Structure formats: C-alpha cells, structure tokens
A and B are shown apart, each in its own frame.
Chain A
Amino acid sequence: MNARHPLAVAALLVVAAVLPSGCAAPGPSEPMTQKDVARSVLGGFSIGGINVGAAAGAAMNAQEAYREIPESEEIVMGNNIAAGLLGAAPLVKQSAQERYVNNVGRWLAVHSGRPDLPWKFGVLDTDSVNAFATPGGNIFVTRGLVVQIRSEADLAGVLSHEISHVVLKHHLKDIQKNAQKNLALDLASLKGGGLAGEAARAVARVGLEGFVRGLSREDELEADRLGVVIAARAGYDPYGLPAVLQTLATLPRDDSAMGLFLKTHPSPADRLAALETAMPASFEAYAKANPALARYGQVFRGETVAVPAAQTAPTAARPTTAPAAAPPAKAPPAKAANPPPTK
C-alpha cells in the first residue's frame, strides 16, 4: 500500500464513511488510489459544517509535500520561478557574456548528477551581489557578483555551487515544505498548467519567496562541498569558490548590494572554514594553472582586441561587447556589465 502520509489515510476513511450508499464507492476488490478519492471529492460537500472536499484537498496537499515531484513538473515549476526572477531583474543581454556563462555552466552541469536537465544560465542586470538557482536547472549570477569575479575558475566555483543546489533539489524541497503550509496551493494542478496557470504562478511565488527566506546553513555548506567537486571534475581549479568567498568577505556588510546575500547565506568566513576542513590536500593536484582560460578576460573585460589582429573582425561584429560603447548608467538593460579596464 502506498499510504505515505497518515492524513491521506484519514481522508480516505472520512470519504468512505460519508459516501451515500448509492454512490460508486470502491469495493475492496477495486481500490481507488488515495489521490483518486481526494480528487473525486474536491468539488466538496458539507457534513455537519465540515467541508469534506476541503479536508481531502488539504490531505492531498499534505501528500503532495512528500511525493517525489517528476522531473517534467520540476522543470515547469523552475521555469515559472525563473520568469518571475527575470521580472525583478532583466538579463544584461550582452550576448558574448551570456553565451560564455552558458558554456561554462553547461560544461559543469555535464559533470553533475543531473547532466540532462535543460540547463540555462543568465547574468542578471543588477548591482546586488548574489546568485540564484531554480528547480529544473535555471541558474543566475548577478552583474554585481560578476564584477567581483576574476577568472573562469572563480565563475565555475560560483556556478557549480548553484548547480549543486539543483542536483541536491534544495529549492524543490523548500518549495514543497512551504507549499504544504499554504493549503490553497496544490502542486498537482501544475500538471499541464504550463507557464500561465494561476496555480503555476502561486507556486512560482513560493519559489521566489524562497530566495528571500534562504536555504538552511546545511544546504549551503553541502552545495559548497559538491560545488568544488563538480568544478574539479570539469577540469577547473577547485579553489575558485573559496577565492570568491575570500573576496565577498571583504565587501562592506552594510552595503545594500550585499543585504539579501548575507541575510540568506552563512557568512563567507564560516563557509571558508567549512570548505577548508572538507577539502583534502589531494585537491591541490587539480589546481594546475591553465593559460587557455585567459579567455575570461577577453569576454568580461574587453581584452580581445588587444591580442591578435585576426580576431578583431568577429569582435567588431558584436557592438554590445565594445567597452567604449557604455551607455549612461540610467538605462539598466543596456548598462555595461564589464567596466572598461582601467589601465
């Protein structure tokens, strides 16, 4: 029997007890699933002032909170959350940067436990220093974080931490837990709802609120540990993440750009201490220098033109990457994500 939650069993008993005798109650030989039963009464009828439909609905929501969400639903849910996040901050839309981050991220994801998700990566146009992951494989870093990053290995460290949240289903579990608290929210009605449904929007709100609530300290430290492993598996120096954490620890704690990040994560110093004890000396062997990764500076600092003359043509074809073309700071979508080199 599949009774995974006592409430679901309770709902089954209530329904069986109140069904009129003429109704097609399932006999012992043709058992309905608990979900079927719950659905059949969702219209609701009242017994002694108690809305049985609502009770069954509540039971189903409780059960929803514990069931394994199929990957297809997880992806829809994550895409809704991503669309919401993009409503709060758009992409920088510098295609060279966006594609670069997608290449680094996808290569890392190939080395994760969920290589076949529809992974998507984006740089959000906001000064806030932060990174986000939604269920189903949407990963975001902010422009404010990117300007603190100095190499492809650093970027890989940040992205692999976020990929780890998806692989470990941290946000998915958080959403299930919090959806349970809101009985009006039925994760099951997401099925076939697509991007537009009201239920889908409600779940997306729970997901967005999750970025404000933050995950547990344990989830964050676990994502750090798996993140450095994914980076190493993908051929990167695994000390990129600790190097970024070192930098983040230097930023003023009272800076508004750091507010949400610090509120929702253990302190960078705590995370560094935990990584130090977790990373064995054998990891040093993975940290060899790789001059081929100097390409990071070409994409994010406009250093391309300085190198071989043969490469200037394709670069010129992408006007958005020209650092000199930075528009006034008032126009957020077009704001330069890479400050021009100062020397």
Chain B
Amino acid sequence: MIRTSKFLALALLAYAAVAGSEPAVTVRAIELKATPAADGKTVVALPTDSAVDVVSRQGAWVQLKAGRNTGWAKLFDVRLASASNAPAKSGTGSNAMAQTLGLAAGTRTSTVTTGVRGLDADMLSKAVPNPQEFATLESYASTKEQAQTFAKAGRLDTRQVETLVAGGAKTGAAK
C-alpha cells in the first residue's frame, strides 16, 4: 500500500504523546512485526505468556516492547496484566496498570475507589425519580444536525459495514 507510510507518520504523530507503557502478556505464540501489518517483516517470534509492554495502539494493532525488541502485534494477541498481579491496591499500582495502551494524548488517572459512594444495587433499589435531573439530561441532547456538524469537524465519514455474526463469518473472506 502506497498510503502506508503517510498513514504511519500520522498515526505516530497522533499517538506519540503517551509516556510510559503498560505490562501485558501474549495469549498465544506470535510473530512481532516491524509494521502494523500481517505481511510486515517479522522482528522476533514470541511464545505464549511472554511478558511484554504495550507502548501504543493503532486500530487492531498494538506496539510492543519485548526485551530489546520493539514491534507490532494484534490487540487480541495480548492481555494487559491484571491489577490483581500488581503490588496491592496502593492507587499507584492500578494507576500504573491502567496507564497506557497508547491512545490519544494525555495521561489518565485512575480514580477507582476514591470514597464517593458507588452506584450499586442498593442505590438503584432505593432511587427516587428525579424529573428535574431528567430535564437537564434533555437540555444537553444533540440534534442530528448538530451531530453532523460535530462529525464533519472530526472528519468522520459514514461507511457501509456488514453486520457481524457470532463466531465470525464461515467463509471468512474479505469482500
């Protein structure tokens, strides 16, 4: 594909702002690719359960660091390391875990469990309807036209996409 290199440069620009990386493991034996493409050059083969760091994501692909090697694998080829493996729940632990996956610029701060009462079964069963808050909700609604303007500014174009079936199409062939 001729557009690939320009595309890649844009992608790097968009995603480069993320600092740090997120620990993960491979869920199957994979080949780390030099580019985010199935026909990319293989950098190194990694067995199942290899410890890697996710540096960034680009669509279906994630950029990984595996020891001294850096390359690309499918998002589905890895699972981010679960916080249960992290050193306790000291806040920084889950923050570090939930930090990257390499998307848009900016730093996320995990605020799970900061003391404000959560929305649990008890709260839902005791909820008293709040029509005033519902009116506020309505006041924020967008019209189709506003959404279209918003989409245009975000360069979002409508595409024809077939629906999916559980387990994937039997033929599997791309159209």
- Spell out A's residues near B (CB within 8 Å): 79-80, 82-91, 93, 95, 98-99, 102-107, 109-111, 115, 118-122, 124, 126-130, 138, 142, 144, 147-148, 150-154, 195, 201, 204, 208-209, 211-212, 221-222, 225-226, 228-229, 232-237, 239, 242-243, 246-247, 249-253, 255-260, 269, 272, 274-284, 286-297, 300-301, 303, 329, 332, 335, 339, 341-343
B114 touches A233 (CB 8 A): no
- 8 chain-A/chain-B pairs, Cβ below 8 angstroms: A89-B119, A102-B142, A103-B150, A110-B147, A250-B80, A251-B98, A300-B106, A301-B106
B89: which A residues are within 8 A, CB to CB? 252, 255
B123: which A residues are within 8 A, CB to CB? 88-89
Give Cα distance in the complex from A109 to B144, angstroms: 9
A87 touches B158 (CB 8 A): no
B80 touches A87 (CB 8 A): no
Give Cα distance in the complex from A122 to B142, angstroms: 11
B52 at the interface (CB under 8 A from A): no
Give A282's nearest chain B residue, CB to CB: B174
B97 at the interface (CB under 8 A from A): yes
B161 to A: closest C-beta gap in Å: 4
Q: Is the interface of B mostly helix, strand, loop or mixed?
A: loop
A247 to B: closest C-beta gap in Å: 6
> Sorted from nearest, which 7 A-B pairs have the closest CB atoms?
A287-B59, A235-B156, A282-B174, A289-B11, A106-B147, A88-B127, A103-B150
B79 touches A86 (CB 8 A): no
Give B76's nearest chain A residue, CB to CB: A276
A91 touches B136 (CB 8 A): yes
Q: How large is the interface on B (under 10, 10 to 19, 20 to 34, 35 or more residues)?
A: 35 or more
B131 to A: closest C-beta gap in Å: 5
A253: which B residues are within 8 A, CB to CB? 84
B67 at the interface (CB under 8 A from A): no
A109: which B residues are within 8 A, CB to CB? 147
Give Cα distance in the complex from A128 to B114, angstroms: 10
B124 at the interface (CB under 8 A from A): yes
Give Cα distance in the complex from A226 to B150, angstroms: 23
Choice from B60, B76, B146 contacting A272 with Cβ under 8 Å: B76
A83 touches B124 (CB 8 A): no
Choice from A232, A278, A300 contacting B159 with Cβ under 8 Å: A232
A120 touches B138 (CB 8 A): yes
A252-B94, A339-B109 known; A88 vs B119 contact (CB < 8 Å): yes
A135 to B: closest C-beta gap in Å: 15
A88 touches B137 (CB 8 A): no
In B68-120, the 8 Å CB interface with A consists of 75-76, 79-84, 89, 94, 97-98, 101, 103-120
Q: Is the interface of A mostly helix, strand, loop or mixed?
A: helix
Choice from A95, A250, A303 contacting B105 with Cβ under 8 Å: A303
A260 touches B98 (CB 8 A): no
B167: which A residues are within 8 A, CB to CB? 277-278
A292 touches B155 (CB 8 A): yes
A234: which B residues are within 8 A, CB to CB? 151, 156, 158
Give B78's nearest chain A residue, CB to CB: A246
A260-B119, A288-B7, A293-B154 known; A247 vs B98 contact (CB < 8 Å): yes
Digit string of B23-37 for contact with A (CB within 8 Å is 1, else 0)? 000000000000000
B164: which A residues are within 8 A, CB to CB? 225-226, 228-229, 278-280
B57 touches A243 (CB 8 A): yes
B168 touches A103 (CB 8 A): no
A259: which B residues are within 8 A, CB to CB? 118, 120
A233: which B residues are within 8 A, CB to CB? 158-161
A280-B169, A288-B59, A343-B19 known; A252 vs B119 contact (CB < 8 Å): no
Give Cα distance in the complex from A301 to B105, angstroms: 9
A278 to B: closest C-beta gap in Å: 5
B163 touches A235 (CB 8 A): no
B119 touches A255 (CB 8 A): no
Give A259's nearest chain B residue, CB to CB: B120
A279: which B residues are within 8 A, CB to CB? 60, 164, 168
A242 touches B169 (CB 8 A): no
Give B136's nearest chain A residue, CB to CB: A91
B124 touches A211 (CB 8 A): yes
A137 to B: closest C-beta gap in Å: 10
A239 touches B140 (CB 8 A): no
A203 to B: closest C-beta gap in Å: 12
